[in-house]
Structure 1
Amino acid sequence: MTILQAGVPKSGNYWLYTILKSINQKAGLEYKSFLRTHPIHKVAQTWDLSFAGQNDMDFINIKKNCCEFRISAVFQEEIADIDDYINKCSLVWTHSSINSYGSKVLPKFNKIVYIIRDPRDVAISYSKYCFTEHKLKNHPPHYEENPESYLENRLDIMLRNWVEHVGSYLKYQDKLNIYPVFYERFLNDLDSELPRLLNYLDIELDENAINQIKSDVSFDSMKKQSPKHLRKGKSAQWREVFTSKQKAKAERIAGEMMKLLNYPIFSDEKTLPCIPLNISHSQLETAIAPSSRNLIHNVKHIYDFINSERTLNAKANLFKDWSTNKIKQVAKGR
């Protein structure tokens, strides 16, 4: 069995990976890895990456017409034969949304687990992650001064990306038998969520094995293994961190999708997310619509960029990088 796990970055993906890997181990399933068969694997063991085991996991990007396997942002290579790649893997991780090419690739996996987290907490976590040593060293510069300015200047795009990403998986949930899980429900009731996940995976474990998995994936255990990657392991941080303006922006852009998934909209609401039964196409379209990038949004985006509190040097560098990327995309015929 080959499992694909997917999710927006900073949604609890590492936690989900650890849970799935622990389940496979306790079930006695053979562990296969494409990366371990590749020459780069030995070299990657010398790299200091973001979290424990990152240089030993199978991770793919699903692009418009191909798939790449990668190791963090340090190494990537196009996959020549996706069927051969999947056959050599037990557990694959992706942050890619589902596009037309992805809709042909994903059915090749036996199981697909998709993790969802409140987009406001995702934005906070990602803003802080962008100032970690690993991110600053191995990723393109972002020219923001601190996590607070990153959150303020990029909240709009992070919210839109979240809505579109989640929407792409919900559209294919029934067709591809995708199993959505929620970060917040894992935090609040892992005792109930773990058996449900095992049922989806068609795996039976005894009570001792289940208790050992819960011990393996506790925040304290994982924090000891990857102190640089994990921060707090909490939910609803947005209640204290977001300004009233940021809360209003989140409601305007992601509010419909959050309502569909039963996320609280206002600070005084206490609800746990869930997937409604029989989501209709019209419900999904309504939830996704506020995130669309139309002409009005593009004009406002330019206005906000010009009037942001970034330095002139930061604005110039961001514009230069944006222009360079556009030229590269045109050259590649995208």
Structure 2
Amino acid sequence: MPFVQLPQTPEGMPLPPFESFLTDPGRRLKAIQDLQTGEKDILLNSYPKSGSHWVHEILSKLLYNEHTQSQVDFEDGFLDFVSDLSTLSSLPSPRLLYTHLPVQYLPQDHVKKGRKIIHIVRDPRDIAVSAYHHFLNVPQFEKFLTRDWDEHLANFMSGNFMYGEWFNNELMYETFAKTNNVMLLIYEEMKMDEEKAVKTIADYLETPCTPAKAAKIASKCSFSQVKERRKSDQFAFLFRKGDVGDWRNRFSAAQEEKFTLLFREKMKNSDLMKRYSKIF
């Protein structure tokens, strides 16, 4: 199914049907690129369904006190989603801003001034499965996206999907990260040792974090804890499993083989090939 109804970037990359993109996608993209950021602001970036909400929870607990944490939701700083970017000025400092857009659409002021950027990478097979279940639960997306798993996976692999091709996005980010102030987080590595992940993020933020604090934050930000806290709000559908390797419950043997060959071909010169060598 071609995404003829979805808004697009000037290059033809499909965008999600958020109100901000449906009305005038070019205007919103330009506004994001032109956004002025503060010296201490942090930009969180990932392909959709890579763990950005989980990492946002960790960041908020590292940076804010309990009172401020209760006032800040991840959607408030979501550049792609908020109805008016001027509302970002009301966020507490340092602001947690995030986007799923590829590198060419990041706020240029933030990039040029060398401010902190955190980028998350996740096994694209798990992303494909997570995205499939996610969008089944968003009624306003129904007319834009297929409900057939095989068609969904084919679209994902070809890049005929919101935010474009995962492979291309990650290759561009890998090049970008070499000359910019970017911290790379691998979702699977974080899940293996969540306390270590918290401490690593704190070190990058230059925020004090004792082992006891890291353990407390890791516990409070575990997927089960976050899912429980959000179960009654409008974004509860975002939190399904968060497991590593859940793709095995959905992929056929033929789909697994085809995806593995595609990954090896697309990422053969990437450092991510080394990071994921044991599972691809």
On whether the aligned pair clears a TM of 0.5, the verdict is: yes
* 1:234-256, Cα deviation, whole Å (9 max, x unpaired): 11222342223322332343324
Matched, 1:110 2:112: no
Structure 1: 5+ residue stretches without partners: 37-52, 62-69, 272-334
3-state SS in 2 of match to 1:60: coil
**Alpha carbons of structure 1 residues 129 and 121: separation in structure 2 relative to 1, 3 Å:** same
Q: Which amino acid aligns with 2:139?
A: L
Paired AA for residue 17 in structure 1 = H
* Displacement of 1:88: 6.2
Q: In the alignment, is residue 257 of structure 1 matched against residue 260 of structure 2?
A: no
Partner of 1:144: 146
CA drift at 1:100: 6.9
Q: Which runs of 5+ in 2 are unaligned?
A: 1-39, 232-236
Distance in 1 separating the partners of 2:93 and 2:222: 29
SS state at 1:249 partner: helix
Give matches, 1:175-194, under 5 Å.
175-194=179-198
Q: Aligned runs of 1:37-48 on 2, under 5 Å? A: none
**2:15 paired with 1:5:** no
What's the Cα RMSD here?
Answer: 3.3
Task: Provide closer, same or farther for how the CA distance between residues 86 and 217 of structure 1 changes in structure 2, counting only shifts above 3 A.
Answer: closer
Are 2:119 and 2:183, in contact at CA under 8 Å, matched by a contact in 1? yes
The one-character-per-residue Cα deviations of 1:146-198 (angstroms, maximum 9, x if unpaired) are 44542345432259611122122211213211000011111111232222221
Distance 1:94 1:108, change over 3 A: farther
Residue aligned with 2:45, SS: strand
Residue of structure 2 equivalent to 1:59:
78
Question: CA 1:101–1:6 in structure 2 vs 1: closer, same or farther (change >3 Å)?
Answer: closer
Distance 2:164 2:79 in 1: 22
Change (3 A) 1:240 1:131: closer
Alpha-carbon shift at residue 218 of structure 1 (Å): 1.0
Q: Report Cα offsets for 1:74-114 as digits up to 9, x if no partner.
A: xx33669x9x7999652111111111775554234631110
Q: CA offsets per residue over residues 29-69 of structure 1, 9 Å max, x none?
A: 988x9xx9xxxxxxxxxxxxxxxx355x21214xxxxxxxx
Match of 1:59, as an amino acid? Answer: F
**CA 1:197/1:120 → structure 2, altered by over 3 Å: closer, same or farther?**
same
AA partner of residue 124 (structure 1):
V
Aligned partner of 2:56 among 17, 37, 46: 17
- What residue in structure 2 maps to residue 64 of structure 1? none
Distance 1:220 1:86 in 2: 27
User: Secondary structure in 2 aligned to 1:93?
Assistant: strand
- 1:169 corresponds to which residue? 173
Q: 1:5–1:112: 8 Å Cα contact kept in structure 2? A: yes
- Which whole-Å CA distance do the structure 1 matches of 2:147 and 2:249 have between them? 21
Alignment of 1:137-286 (within 5 A): 137=140, 139=141, 141-147=143-149, 149-157=151-159, 158=161, 161-227=165-231, 228-255=237-264, 256-257=266-267, 260-261=271-272, 262-264=274-276, 269=278
SS of residue in 1 equivalent to 2:104? coil
Structure 1 or 2, whichever has the larger Rg, is 1
* Aligned equivalent of 1:123: 128
Aligned residue for 1:92?
A: 97
Q: Compute the TM-score of the two structures, normalised by the length of structure 2.
A: 0.69
Distance 1:168 1:154, change over 3 A: closer
The residue aligned with 2:32 is none
- Say whether the 8 Å CA contact 2:58–2:217 is kept in structure 1: yes
